[in-house]
Each structure stands twice: as structure tokens, then as C-alpha cells.
Structure 1
């Protein structure tokens, strides 16, 4: 959200397009918000947790704001590493579910929130907590690849390789890099080359 907002404001100040970065950054922000809303729906937080979220939001937003002003490349790299840690965390979570360490989540009566079912379009029969964690982990893997790739690019001139009309060959076939397949991100030469 911070990166998208700053790039949006920069685009307005300079009266020029930002090469498609804003949309991807805001999509990532929306997706992360859905992760939070999904997990918060499962526990219905009280005033203390809501206050903690507000405090964390204030600290993290301002830290990211200042960081992005100083160096967008470093900020994207940092977010890529955060997302890498999230992938590891959700992988451990899946392992713990499989080992029975979280009995509530393997209870046949346990249901994931409707907001998750609607957002990820989770089919009937695939609505267990383990399945939900797979969806969230896949999102985090994409965020990891996107942010590492954006860190590898020239911030003010390179196009966003994850927009729908990035590269089209002579036959009209679109070539979009899959960020989940490249944990360290695509190098600039792979994208621009």
C-alpha cells in the first residue's frame, strides 16, 4: 500500500505513467488485507488485539514510508525477505497440521471463514484449514517473487513485468513471468533482455 501510494503520488507530480507498477503493488496490498481479515474472522479479536493492530499499523506504515522514500530497491528486497519468511512459516504450519499438533484445525466440524471461501473461490471438499494455508502460502510465494523482481529493476524506468500486457510475441501469445517460480526474483536481464 505504501509503495503503491508513493508511486501514485510520484506519477501525479511528474505527470507521467509509472510503467504499471501501481496496480501490482495495490493488488498485493489487497491480498495481504484479505489474509488478515480471514485470520481475524477466525478468532474475532477484542479491543486489545484491535489496539495492537492499530499500533503495529502506525509503526510499520511509517517505517515503510520512510524506507521507500530513501530506497525503493531496499524496501522491495526487505519485503521479499519478509514474504520468504511467511512461506517458511506457512510450510511449518502445514507440517504441524499434518502431525496433528493443532487439533482444532483438523476437527471435521471446523470451518474456514466464508470470506476465505469467496475470495479464493475454494471448491467444496477443499475447505479445510490445511487447504486454506496452501492458498495463503501460494500468495506469499508470489509476493516474494514479485518484490525480489521489483528490487532487481530500475525503479524509475523499467516496466512492471507482471501486468497483463507485458510481452506479446508475433503470434499474440502473452509472456508473463510467474513470480512464484523464481523465489529470488527475476533478474533485470531476464525481464528487459
Structure 2
């Protein structure tokens, strides 16, 4: 018996008239197509006994338009047909739901899956980029000199290769927000309490740093040894920062604050070399234009400038988080500043 014939026979048995079954088919807008609830008869050594059948959800990844007008009995066979090389186009979605068609304000199609139009914003480039938190306490000095010790090897390795330096910097800078948000999430679950918005703020910071990296890889492709360096540095930094946050969140946030200060300094040097002509000021990548709502004629300099502003916001956020805890308060007692609009 062929595979398709076996599948069709199985579907007929499941959907026999001994009972009725509910089948859900998800659509782009969450509407459900359902048939009736039923029971299925099952033979035993005593005789025929009816057992209630659990509701079955159709996890088919076929386009919803292809199954919209089909009856429940046809779902299994049509899914088998697509498995055997049918013309149905699979949907890349966790829930098997066709992604909605999104357009820009001008009506053109939205081309990015890593972020949506409502997640874009205009960066506040008026923020003070020279702001520096003076280390006063022992903890502050330890955090400051730790960051200073870490920055010199990277400067010696990359020198004036700003693009490669920026890519490594962003793969590391996206770690603290994710680690902090994850641990605060677990703490909120353990204590059955709210977080004051800090979980979302830190995860938003991590996502913003990741978008910096997604922008830079549109401009430059890292070499194999640079990828290997990212593996090593990120592996060590993630675990070290995880342990540091468990031991002292205020120390971890202070370290991140000083890391962001160095990021601001690095991008300032990048802008100087762009202005001097040492680095080609190419047109801005399309992903950066859409993410930061930049004019179509924007250049790489404009992109670096808005990224530097983001880093300055991260700097202030993490120093603020550390200051709160240095005063003996918990983060949840102070609402987190959300968003970069």
C-alpha cells in the first residue's frame, strides 16, 4: 500500500461516522474553522465502547487559503499530498499561521521579518555623548578598571578597522540585557511579583543591540577568524556576566554602563575617520533606513550617529539601574524607561 493511500485510509477511519471530531485550522487573523465535536468508537474484548476523543488541532503548515474551503476530512489527505511534492507552499511559522501582509506608510511591502514597522523609531541624537559616571566607590572603580583592561586588547587587535570592531562590540553588547532580563524574569516568577517594567526594558536593550549587528553585517562580512573570536569572547563573557549578575546586579549594571561608555567612544572615533575620509561613507543599508526611519539619502555616517545615540541611552539606563540598587532599593520600585522613541 502506498504512503498516500495509507494516509487517506487513516484519515477516513478517524473521521468515520461513529462520531464527530473537531478540527481547528488557524488562519492569518486567528479565525477558527471547525466542524462538530464528537466521540469515536473503539473495539475492546468486551464489545464496542465509545471514548471521548480529545480536540485535535491541525498543525498543517499549508497556506490557509489552500485549506479554507476544504472539509475536515480532506485536511489529512491534502497535507499528505503536499508532503509528496505538491505545489502547496509551506509557511515558515511556529503556529502554522500565514504571516500577515504588512505595508509601509507609502503602501510598499514591508520586507523585514526581524522587526515590524511599529518597532521602528527616530533616535534621539541630542543626548549627551560625553557624559561619564565618575567611579567613587570600590565597586565603581572595580567595574571601571575591569572595562578599561578589557578594551585595550580589542583596540590592539582591530586598530582602525572600525567595521570589524563594531561587529564584535555588538555581539558582546547584546548579552547583558538578555542575561539581566532573563534573571529578572526568573526572579519575578519565584517571588510572584511585578518587575516594574525592567524585564522588558533590558530585553528591548538586547534586541536593539542585535539590530545594530544586523545593520553592520549588511555592510561588511566578517572573516572566519573574526567569527571564531566572537565565539570565544561571547562564550566567556556570557558565562562571566551571568555569574556576576547572580552575585551582584548593581555591579553587573555598572560594568555594562562603562562598556556602553566605551562603545560611545568607539563610535565617536568611527565618525571622525568618516569625516576625515579615512573610511568610505557609503549609502546607508536599507534595513537601517527602515529601522531608524532615516531619509532615503542617508549614509553610513548617519547610521553610526544613531547607533552611538542608542549606546548613550543604554549607558544611562544601566548606570541608573546600578544607582538604584546602590541606594538599597530594588529595580521594581522605580519604573523602567521603556522605548527609544
Shift, 1:6, TM fit: 0.4
Aligned mate of 2:244, from 49, 67, 77: 67
Size of the alignment, in residue pairs? 159
Q: Counterpart of 1:9?
A: 186
After TM superposition, give the deviation of residue 44 of structure 1 in Å: 2.1
* Counterpart among 122, 144, 153 of residue 294 in structure 2: 122
Residues 37-116 of structure 1 correspond to what in structure 2 (within 5 A)? Answer: 37-102=214-279, 104-105=280-281, 110-116=282-288
Structure 2 unaligned segments of length 5 or more: list them: 1-177
Aligned to 2:306: 135
Which residue of structure 2 lines up, in the alignment, with residue 155 of structure 1? 330
CA distance in 2, matches of 1:158, 1:146: 15
The equivalent position to 1:145 in structure 2, one of 285, 296, 316, is 316
**Higher relative contact order structure (alpha carbons within 8 Å, sequence separation ≥ 6):** 1
Counterpart contact for 2:261–2:311, Cα < 8 Å: yes
Instruction: Please give the TM-score of this superposition, normalised by the length of structure 2.
Output: 0.44
Measured in 2, the distance between the counterparts of 1:86 and 1:155 equals 27
Kept after mapping to 1: 8 A contact 2:198/2:332: no
Could you say what the CA RMSD is over the residues aligned between the two structures, in angstroms? 1.8
Larger Rg: 2
Unaligned regions of 5+ residues in structure 1, if any? 165-177, 179-193
Cα displacement (A) at 1:156: 5.0
Q: What is the CA distance between 1:24 and its match in structure 2?
A: 0.5
TM-score, with structure 1 as normaliser? 0.76
Query: Displacement of 1:160 after TM fit?
Result: 2.7
Three-state SS of the structure 2 residue aligned to 1:123 is coil
Distance (whole Å) between structure 2 residues aligned to residue 138 and residue 119 of structure 1: 14
Match of 1:170 in 2: none
Q: How far is the alpha carbon of 1:49 from its aligned partner? A: 3.0
Aligned 8 A contact 2:250 2:321 in 1: yes
Deviations 1:79-130 (A, max 9, x none): 111111111111121111111121x22xxxx3322221221111122x2111
The structure with the largest strand share of the pair is: 2
3-state SS of the aligned residue for 1:124?
A: coil
C-alpha distance in 2, partners of 1:64/1:148? 16
Does the aligned pair in 2 maintain the 1:42–1:113 contact within 8 Å?
Answer: yes
Distance 2:224 2:269 in 1: 29
